[in-house]
A and B are shown apart, each in its own frame.
Chain A
Amino acid sequence: MAIKYKKVNDPDGVFTCLRCWDDADATVATLLIPLDEANTDYANWKAWDAIDGNTTLDAD
Chain B
Amino acid sequence: MTAARNLASVVSQLATQGLDRPSVNPIIINGDLTVNNYGLNNTLTGLGDSDEGYIIHDRLRHTITAGAGRYTAADLGVTDLPGFARVLHLDCTTAEASLGTNSSVFNIDYRVEANDIASLLNWSDTSNDTSAKYITVSFYMKTNKAFKFTTGFINSDHSRHIRKEFTTSTSWTRHVLTFPPDIGNSPNSDIGEGLRWRTTISGGSDFTSGTLATNWESTTSANSHTSNTPNNFFDNTDNDIKMTGLQMEIGQFTSSSIPDFQKINDTATERRRCDRYCQLLAYAQDQVIGNGNSYSDTRLVTDYCQRGSFRNTPSVIQSSASNSLRIDVNNTFDLFDNISGTQFGSVNGIGLVSDSGVSTAVGKYAYLYGGSGATRLLMNAEL
- Residues of chain A whose beta carbon lies under 8 Å from any beta carbon of chain B: 1, 8, 10-11, 16-17, 19, 21-22, 25, 27-34, 36, 38-42
Contact = CB atoms under 8 A, between A and B. Distances in A.
Contacts of B382: 40
B338 A30 contact: yes
B299 A17 contact: no
Interface of B: 43, 46, 49-50, 66, 191-192, 295, 299, 311-320, 338-343, 345, 350, 353, 376, 380-383
A3 to B, nearest CB: 8
Contacts of A19: 340-341
B66 A39 contact: no
A39 B345 CA distance: 11
A36 B318 CA distance: 19
B380 A11 contact: no
B152 to A, nearest CB: 21
B355 to A, nearest CB: 8
B350 A34 contact: yes
Contact of B313 (A10, A25, A34): A34
B314 A34 contact: yes
B341 A1 contact: no
21 contacts: A1-B66, A8-B340, A10-B341, A16-B342, A16-B343, A16-B353, A19-B341, A28-B50, A29-B317, A29-B318, A29-B376, A30-B318, A32-B315, A34-B315, A36-B313, A38-B192, A39-B313, A39-B314, A40-B382, A40-B383, A41-B315
Contacts of B314: 34, 39
Contacts of A30: 317-320, 338
User: Which of B312, B338, B339, B376 is most buried by chain A, counting CB atoms within 10 A of its CB?
Assistant: B312
Nearest 7 pairs between A and B by C-beta? A38-B312, A36-B313, A32-B316, A8-B341, A34-B313, A34-B345, A17-B342
B344 to A, nearest CB: 8
B342 A32 contact: yes
